[in-house]
Structure 1
Amino acid sequence: MDYLFEISERLIAHASTDIQRPQLQKLSQGGRMIGLKGARGVGKSTLLLQFAKSFLRDKKKLYISLDDIAFADQRLTDFADTFVKLGGECLLLDEVHSYKGWARELKNIYDRYPGLQVLFTGSSMLQLSDGLPELSRRAVIHDLPALSFREYLLFETGISFELLSLEDILRDHQRLSKEIWQEIRPLQHFEAYLKGGCYPYFFENPETYDIRLRETVIRVIESDLLITTGISPSSMEKIKQLLYIISHSVPFKPNIDKLAERMQIGKNNLKAYFRYLDMAGITRSLFSAKKGISLLTKPEKVYLAHPNLMHSLNPGQVNAGTQRESFFLSQLAPLHTVTEPDKADFRVDDHYLFEIGGKNETPAQIKGESNAYLAVDGIETGFGNRIPLWLFGFLY
């Protein structure tokens, strides 16, 4: 175990705490067992190491990644037992989905060692397994989404802007916009964010970001999805095929019968693949506000999860209108329920209607509708129900 302590101390010591995401404070609010899940690449490991460095200075702690070869033939409960006997107080477990039976053993650790705090990270697809229900009464689970536009600006400029609620934006967007562009010109950064910046590793080497993003997507499908769902290699290839079709047709409006025939798979399997891609953080499906959502519900539209994926998976073919819609959906969906309405582009929380467009967009689609707004690209300040699109990037 000595070498694991050495690696842990080295990683924690080298963790930069210059820029911290809001979710770090959530981890610091306590609890014997805390989980952090999100798509590969969003910064879960960094957040765990920052927590250890900033909030566990005086505690005996150990950070380990469960995809380490050391756990290929070692029970996690036995390891925790040894750690506690050595005086261990906080165990930080990264990549728990890589360890078979992780949920059962975390449950046992929680029950057997009441003095031990456990924090763990895992794939956004954890809820596809039986694990999270088993831990529901023991662990507090937080989601870590991709960087918002507000967080991107923090990384890019060092300026920390206040979080805004949707109600704040709808009620007082003129004043809020002015306060922000008195410090920076958001439109000077907005296009760059749409192309690259949703994942923190963008800032390590922007020139290779597109390549790393494509590699991340492939690894999610070939590793995380394979581990979490137990799909066969042939199914994995079908999911890659489906992603190719989606990425070249976004927003993709699926005809389940024709698509299932084209891909030579069953319709229920096809619907499951859509769900897998959503849970993996690669796509984001939009469902009808009238039909509701179930495991077998057909999505009305399928977007890539954020605009960076559009530029990475189908460069040179990015439609400006779709990019705007993808941005809006990516910023709203982590905190709000977004569905497909009869009119306009999106319905939010079953209450607000939004039409997304460029600065020449007219309100024709939402004329006569109550609680209806235009999210407009290319403007710094709005008026009435015309709101700058970029401002919706300050929700988290």
Structure 2
Amino acid sequence: MEVESSLVSMKTILLVLNYTLVVWYCFMVALSLFGQYIGQSRYRHKPEAKSSKLPFAEAEGVSIIRPLKGVDLELEANLRSSFIQNYPKFEIIFSVASPEDPAIAIVDSLMQEFHNVDSRLIIGDHQVGINPKINNMVESYRTAKYNIIWVLDSNVHVDKDTLGRSVDQLMLPGIGLVHHLPIAVQPATYAAEIEQIFLDTNHAKMYLAINGVGIASCVMGKSNLYRRSDLDKVGGLEKFGKYMAEDNIIGEALWHQGLRHRMSSDTACQALGPISLKGYCARRARWVRLRKYIVTAATLVEPFTESVVCGIMGAVGARNIFQIPISTFFCVHWTWWFVNDCLLYRTLVSSSSLHTLDAQKPLKIWRFLRAWVSREVLALPLYLYAMAGTKISWRDQEYKCISDGTAIAVSKELDTQPLLTATA
């Protein structure tokens, strides 16, 4: 009787496990389709920017802060997109740490060209923490004319109506932060194509779906608008200088005040140019190492959201419950996952605000397939590698991530662990 009881218990456990695998797979399918739905409905048709039509006296003023270091690809076009915003009241503040920075010449040229636009350049940073981006922006934040702050990375290009549509969203009741979907265009190498596929497929649909559900803060800091008065309630910008992933921490700080986040129908468009395979791997692993102490639960679940692991889970559960061959299930799974990603990719690339020769041209299908398969196959090994370490390198400085989400600078001479070198 005890043996029979043990067998029954084991069968019950296995049955529950198999159903769990199938339920998780169905959940991921639903989440992926939800992200696809948001992407197709939001980025195919952009609404008119109502705030852009307001007279100067009635419009909410916005201070655009653009931190700079070096000359990013398409830097002039990126910065120019700030000057031509179709909005009645804004200023642009460029922040650079060193007076020798080559970006200064481009800024000076644009400020002369658009002399009628309220803009200025601040040279020199303030050491308030370990994060060089925060150190670079502190003076700009303190001296900004307006309460609404738009932090816009130097490698990002935006549409001329982005500010107007974003202010429309920020003015909605209970909204404390508006952010934009990061997308990539203009890959110049095979590894850059993999990076583009990651950002414009898997990352995009999960980012859209999670923010669509809206049960927690999920923010990337490439293009964010919020009110300085709200951030000052928790210590202001300089409080976040001790964190490397300050964008997510700022988003959570505003969320905990009861202020929800919104996304407009605009994208934060980044031109990639040439990237090495080592550089791609470093970027992806760097993201994991920065997030694993800040959003631990989401980071631990991440492998089970990927097409390979998730597909295997669904295939095993379907075989044990419905007697569907694993190979058949996985082939169908990978085909629909590929088609789903391909459709979203084409929509996002075609909506790009960077109007250069190749920016809005999707990859040929065979190149898309090559990059897509490479991205999916590399996902788990890169994740495991990243989870095993704590060291990263950012903007020529090496750091060690700490369990409280902060980081410390480390000496190259003392470092023995493999580093993840990546740009922002």
Q: Using structure 1 for the length normalisation, give the TM-score.
A: 0.29
TM-score, normalised relative to structure 2: 0.28
